[in-house]
Structure 1
Amino acid sequence: MTKAETAEAKPKGGKGRRVLLLAVPLVLAGAAAGLWFTGILPGLLGLNPPAAAAPAGTAPSSDGAPAAARPAIYFDMPDIVANLNATGRRSSYIKLRSKLEITRAEDAALLQAAMPRLLDLFTTYLREMRPEELRGSAGTQRLREELIARASTAAAPARVTDVLFIELLLQ
């Protein structure tokens, strides 16, 4: 037998066989990944599907329900009138009427007990503000963030989640 005859006698399936051996595991792995990420495969295997994530800022309560499902609790703050840090001879004043949003009804007692400290922190902060710092929505948002931080510090371990402005007057 010559070399040409032996070459013709060999089957020509070597290259196709390699492609098949590589393609089958890749297709199977892709299908398994698709089933896993759609949640079908964990259900078929009897595994618990991953718990749905709660929206940002909500923590589960003691009874397991998300905090967002609970009604909001608001605590009325007394009116605050303070003079602002204004340049020149003309005085500027701010009148602030607000409510604090809290996570638990029990925190209202802690806020009431900390009321002198809350009023002091709020008034001191407002007296250092300049009228131009309160202009626009960005100034109001900065004020809100600072008051939340001060209220959370003064009334710890109570958690103040928001400050709602009922009335905010600048003169």
Structure 2
Amino acid sequence: MATAEATVEAEPKKRSKKPLLIGLVLALVLGGGGFYATFSGMILGGGAGGDHAEEEHAPGPLQGIAFVPLQTMVISLGADSGSEHLRFTAQLEVVKSAADDVTTLTPRILDVLNSYLRAIDTASIEDPQAMARLRAQMLRRIQVVTGEGRVRDLLITEFVLN
């Protein structure tokens, strides 16, 4: 009988869940407070009590850009082409501070585009999938003429073969 009593073990003491609950509540409160402080701008945003002029004119994708229109160009295509002419119109998306400089360089830009479009193979112009490549090539040539950092993009508004 002594062996039977020895095998019956006393139940271990149950650990308290109080520290776990306190830790969980603290984590939620501190996480929520940190989120609020960041979201409201108290930290990493200039502060809620700071100058609100920054909030009124927050920088966005439309801040600091301008568009410079290019004249419509009509380029005659070769005899082996299915079309006779290419009518091309575009606008340049430029940094606002460089808009006057790019406008001044418009004749050089038109010359570069005209030379490129006349020299390119007519099959490349007629291929619908080639538009992205043509656009990238023209943009790169424009950026070389105007200088780095002035022209952000080339927006083709008309590309008509007739």
Asked if structure 1 preserves the Cα contact closer than 8 Å seen for 2:81 and 2:123, the reply is no
Q: What is the deviation of 1:5?
A: 1.5
Matched, 1:80 2:79: no
Moved over 6 A (4+): none
Name the TM-score, length of structure 2 as normaliser: 0.61
Distance in 2 of aligned mates of 1:117 and 1:82: 16
Q: 1:102 aligns with which of 94, 99, 124?
A: 94
Q: 2:59 maps to what in 1?
A: 66
Distance in 2 of aligned mates of 1:166 and 1:153: 22
Asked if structure 2 preserves the Cα contact closer than 8 Å seen for 1:74 and 1:100, the reply is yes
Name the TM-score, length of structure 1 as normaliser: 0.59
Q: Percent identity?
A: 22
Matched, 1:4 2:4: yes
Distance in 1 of aligned mates of 2:125 and 2:82: 17
Q: 2:140 maps to what in 1?
A: 149
Q: 1:132 aligns with which of 123, 140, 143?
A: 123
Distance in 2 of aligned mates of 1:35 and 1:87: 76
Q: 2:109 aligns with which of 100, 108, 118?
A: 118
**Root-mean-square deviation over aligned CA pairs:** 4.0
Distance in 2 of aligned mates of 1:157 and 1:64: 27
Q: How many residues align?
A: 146
Give CA deviations for 1:6-51 in whole Å, capped at 9, x if unaligned. Answer: 331x32348x76xx89xx59x94xx94x778xx624147x565666
Q: What is the deviation of 1:98?
A: 1.6
Asked if structure 2 preserves the Cα contact closer than 8 Å seen for 1:103 and 1:159, the reply is yes
Q: What is the deviation of 1:75?
A: 0.7
